[in-house]
Chain A
C-alpha cells in the first residue's frame, strides 16, 4: 500500500479554499499523524481520500491509481481497501442495529470483493470482536448497552471487517475519557502490529499524536505548513504556526506551565 497525494486542492463556491496544494506521502505500515485545528481542512482531506468529494485539482494515488478518476464500481472496490473510524462512537453507530449487524454490514456491501456467505460473515464478526477485546457474548447487544470505549471498539471492528490496508482514524479517542483513551490507543497499536496496517491518524491532540505517529504533518488554512518525523517536528517546529501550536499544548506537568505565580506552593 502506498498513498500519495500530489498538489491536492479543493475549492467550494463563494471562493472558499478548503485545501490548497496539499502533498503527502504515506508509507506502508507507518502511522502518519495529521494535526489540524477546526476549519483547517483535515475533514475535507479525509473526504477526498475516501472518494466522497471530487478534488478541484491535484491527484490522490493509491498504489499508483488515481482515486478521483475511478468509476463507481472501481471506487466501491477501492473503499474496501480504505476504511475509517469516526470520532464520536455515540453518533457513528446505528442505535437500531446489533453489534453483529453493525460489524457485518460492510461485509454485505463488499460481498463481491470478500465472497463471504452468511455463516462465514458471522464467524468473521466473532473473530473481529475478539481482535478488539470484545467477545461472542456481545453479538446481539445494541449500542446503548456498551460504554463509550466499547463502542469505539465496535467502530474499529467494523472498519477492519473488509480487510482494509489503510485505516483513517478521525479523532478516534477525543470523545473518550483519558483511561479509556489509553485502552483504545493501546488496542490500535497492537492491531497495527498484527495486521500490518497503515494509519492516517487525524487529531488535534498533540500529546496523543506525539506518542502514536511516526511522521506528522500540520495543516492550517488548507495548507500543509509543516511535515516531518514526529520527534523532529516536536523538537523544532520551523514555522510560526507550528511554534505557536506546540507552545499551546498543555503538558500535564505543573512545572512546565507558563502560568505559575511566584510564591505558589513548591513541593
Chain B
C-alpha cells in the first residue's frame, strides 16, 4: 500500500454561475521516495487536488461527491478537523507558490517557525528531541534550535543570526527556502509543493530543485509537485500525472511519459514547449480552449479539441490503457490502436 492513495476522487465547486465539476475521478498513488509531478494548464484541477489531500478546501463551496483519499491507510475524507490539524505541519507538509505572501510580514521568521515546531512537537514530542512532559520553556528552546537547524539544512547562511530576521530581509529564493524549512520542520512523510519555483529566477530554481532532490534521497520524502513547468518535471520528478479539465489523462514514470507520450493532450503539451529543435513560427499549438466545467463535455473531456476524436469519445470516460509497467493512458483512440 502506497503512502498516499487518491481513489476516484470527485469534487464540485459552487460558483455564481452554477456548480463546476472540478475533479472528475482522480486516481493517483504516491509512495515514499517518489516525486510525482502533477502537470496541466491553468484550471485543470492540479492545485485543488493538492489542497484536497491536505483537506484545505472549505466545504462549501467545495463538495466532495465520491472517492477517497487514504494517507498511510487512514481515510482523510472521513477525518475530522482535529485529526487533520495533527497531520498538517507534521506528517503532511505544504509549500505554496508565492513566498512573498506566505510568510507573515510582522513576525520574525524564527517566531513563525517555532509556532510550527511547537505544533508538530505537541503531536510528537520526539520531533523536538524531548521526553513527554517537558516544560514549556524547554520546548520553546528546543523549537528554536530546531528552527535554526532547519534553516541551516535548507542552505540559509548564518542561520542562528538570520532566525531573528523579518521576511522582508530575505530575497525571494531565501524566503522560499524558509517556507521549505517550515514545511519540513515536522519531519513530514509527504510534501505537497504547489508551484514552488514559479516565482523564482532559473538560477534560484535550480538551487531549490537540488535541495528537493537531496531531501528525497536522504529522508525518503514523498513529494507531490504541482507545476505547469514541464522542464521542472522532466528534471526532478520520478513520475508524472498529466491532468486536463479535472481528469488525469496520462500517468507513469517520467521517462516513459515524456519519451513516449500516448495521449493526444500530452503530445500537444510537450510539443508546445520550445526546445533546441523548435522552428520559429512553427511551434505546435493546441487549437481551442479548455471546456467550461459547469457544463463539461460528456465522455472524454478532451474530445472537443482532439484530432483523434471519434463519436465513441463523447459516449463515456475512457478506461485506463496500460502501456508499460508504470505507464497508463486514458484515451479511447489508444485502446483502438492497441
Query: Could you list which residues of chain A lie within 8 angstroms of chain B, going by C-beta atoms?
Result: 37-38, 147-148, 177-183, 185-186, 189-190, 193, 204, 206-208, 210-212, 244-245, 247-259, 261, 264-267
- Please determine whether B259 and A37 come into contact, CB atoms closer than 8 angstroms: no
Closest to A261 in B: B217
- Please determine whether A178 and B202 come into contact, CB atoms closer than 8 angstroms: no
Q: Could you say which of B121-129, B174-182, B283-291 contacts chain A?
A: B283-291
- Please determine whether A189 and B273 come into contact, CB atoms closer than 8 angstroms: no
16 interchain pairs, CB-CB under 8 A: A179-B41, A179-B272, A180-B41, A181-B272, A183-B285, A185-B283, A186-B283, A189-B280, A208-B274, A211-B275, A212-B280, A250-B205, A253-B275, A255-B255, A259-B235, A265-B256
Closest to B207 in A: A248
At the interface, yes or no: B60 with Cβ under 8 Å from chain A?
Answer: no
Provided the pairs A248-B205, A250-B231, A252-B258 are in contact, do residues A182 and B272 lie with their beta carbons within 8 angstroms?
yes
User: Which residues in A have their C-beta under 8 angstroms from that of B259?
Assistant: 254-255, 267
At the interface, yes or no: B141 with Cβ under 8 Å from chain A?
Answer: no
User: Which are the 7 A-B pairs with shortest beta-carbon distances?
Assistant: A250-B231, A189-B281, A248-B206, A37-B201, A179-B286, A182-B272, A182-B285
- Please determine whether B256 and A267 come into contact, CB atoms closer than 8 angstroms: yes
User: Which residues in B have their C-beta under 8 angstroms from that of A257?
Assistant: 234-236
Closest to A147 in B: B289
- Please determine whether B228 and A265 come into contact, CB atoms closer than 8 angstroms: no
User: Which residues in B have their C-beta under 8 angstroms from that of A259?
Assistant: 209-210, 213, 235-236
Rounded to whole Å, the gap between the CB of A93 and the closest CB of chain B is 18
Contacting B202 at CB < 8 Å: which of A148, A185, A248, A255? A248
Rounded to whole Å, the gap between the CB of A208 and the closest CB of chain B is 5
At the interface, yes or no: B320 with Cβ under 8 Å from chain A?
Answer: no
Interface residues of B in 284-305 (CB under 8 A from A): 284-286, 289
- Please determine whether B172 and A38 come into contact, CB atoms closer than 8 angstroms: yes
Contacting B234 at CB < 8 Å: which of A208, A244, A251? A251
- Please determine whether A207 and B235 come into contact, CB atoms closer than 8 angstroms: no
User: Which residues in A have their C-beta under 8 angstroms from that of B282?
Assistant: 186
Provided the pairs A190-B281, A211-B274, A249-B231 are in contact, do residues A254 and B258 lie with their beta carbons within 8 angstroms?
yes
User: Which residues in A have their C-beta under 8 angstroms from that of B256?
Assistant: 265, 267
User: Which residues in B have their C-beta under 8 angstroms from that of A265?
Assistant: 238, 253, 255-256, 326
At the interface, yes or no: B229 with Cβ under 8 Å from chain A?
Answer: yes
Rounded to whole Å, the gap between the CB of A33 and the closest CB of chain B is 12
Closest to A248 in B: B206
Interface size class of B (residues with CB under 8 A): 35 or more
Kindly state the separation between the CA atoms of A177 and B281 in the bound complex, as whole angstroms. Answer: 17
Kindly state the separation between the CA atoms of A248 and B210 in the bound complex, as whole angstroms. Answer: 11
At the interface, yes or no: B222 with Cβ under 8 Å from chain A?
Answer: no
Closest to A214 in B: B280
- Please determine whether A211 and B260 come into contact, CB atoms closer than 8 angstroms: no
Kindly state the separation between the CA atoms of A247 and B206 in the bound complex, as whole angstroms. Answer: 9
Contacting A252 at CB < 8 Å: which of B205, B270, B281? B270
Contacting B235 at CB < 8 Å: which of A193, A212, A244, A258? A258
Kindly state the separation between the CA atoms of A44 and B169 in the bound complex, as whole angstroms. Answer: 23
Rounded to whole Å, the gap between the CB of A147 and the closest CB of chain B is 6
At the interface, yes or no: B269 with Cβ under 8 Å from chain A?
Answer: yes
Provided the pairs A37-B201, A185-B283 are in contact, do residues A207 and B253 lie with their beta carbons within 8 angstroms?
no
Kindly state the separation between the CA atoms of A60 and B327 in the bound complex, as whole angstroms. Answer: 56
Provide the B218-241 mask, 1 if CB < 8 A to any CB of A, else 0.
Answer: 000000000011111111101000
Closest to A257 in B: B235
User: Which residues in A have their C-beta under 8 angstroms from that of B260?
Assistant: 267
Rounded to whole Å, the gap between the CB of B197 and the closest CB of chain A is 9
- Please determine whether B283 and A253 come into contact, CB atoms closer than 8 angstroms: no
Provided the pairs A37-B201, A38-B201, A204-B202 are in contact, do residues A177 and B41 lie with their beta carbons within 8 angstroms?
yes
User: Which residues in B have their C-beta under 8 angstroms from that of A204?
Assistant: 201-202
User: Which residues in B have their C-beta under 8 angstroms from that of A193?
Assistant: 281
User: Beyond the given A190-B281, A208-B274, could you list 4 further A-B residue pairs with CB under 8 A, ordered by the A residue number?
Assistant: A37-B203, A185-B274, A249-B202, A254-B258
Rounded to whole Å, the gap between the CB of B81 and the closest CB of chain A is 34
Provided the pairs A179-B269, A182-B286, A267-B259 are in contact, do residues A37 and B235 lie with their beta carbons within 8 angstroms?
no
At the interface, yes or no: B134 with Cβ under 8 Å from chain A?
Answer: no
Rounded to whole Å, the gap between the CB of A149 and the closest CB of chain B is 8
Contacting A251 at CB < 8 Å: which of B205, B231, B278, B285? B231
At the interface, yes or no: B42 with Cβ under 8 Å from chain A?
Answer: yes
Kindly state the separation between the CA atoms of A219 and B272 in the bound complex, as whole angstroms. Answer: 27
Kindly state the separation between the CA atoms of A208 and B213 in the bound complex, as whole angstroms. Answer: 26
User: Which residues in B have their C-beta under 8 angstroms from that of A264?
Assistant: 238, 253, 255
Rounded to whole Å, the gap between the CB of B283 and the closest CB of chain A is 4
Provide the B303-335 mask, 1 if CB < 8 A to any CB of A, else 0.
Answer: 000000000000000000000101000000000
- Please determine whether A250 and B232 come into contact, CB atoms closer than 8 angstroms: yes
Provided the pairs A37-B203, A189-B281 are in contact, do residues A177 and B42 lie with their beta carbons within 8 angstroms?
yes
User: Which residues in B have their C-beta under 8 angstroms from that of A253?
Assistant: 234, 258, 275
Contacting A206 at CB < 8 Å: which of B42, B202, B258? B202
User: Which residues in B have their C-beta under 8 angstroms from that of A244?
Assistant: 203
- Please determine whether B253 and A210 come into contact, CB atoms closer than 8 angstroms: no
User: Which residues in A have their C-beta under 8 angstroms from that of B234?
Assistant: 250-254, 256-257
Closest to B327 in A: A267
At the interface, yes or no: B268 with Cβ under 8 Å from chain A?
Answer: yes
- Please determine whether B280 and A210 come into contact, CB atoms closer than 8 angstroms: no
At the interface, yes or no: B147 with Cβ under 8 Å from chain A?
Answer: no
- Please determine whether B268 and A179 come into contact, CB atoms closer than 8 angstroms: yes
Contacting A207 at CB < 8 Å: which of B231, B269, B285? B231
At the interface, yes or no: B12 with Cβ under 8 Å from chain A?
Answer: no
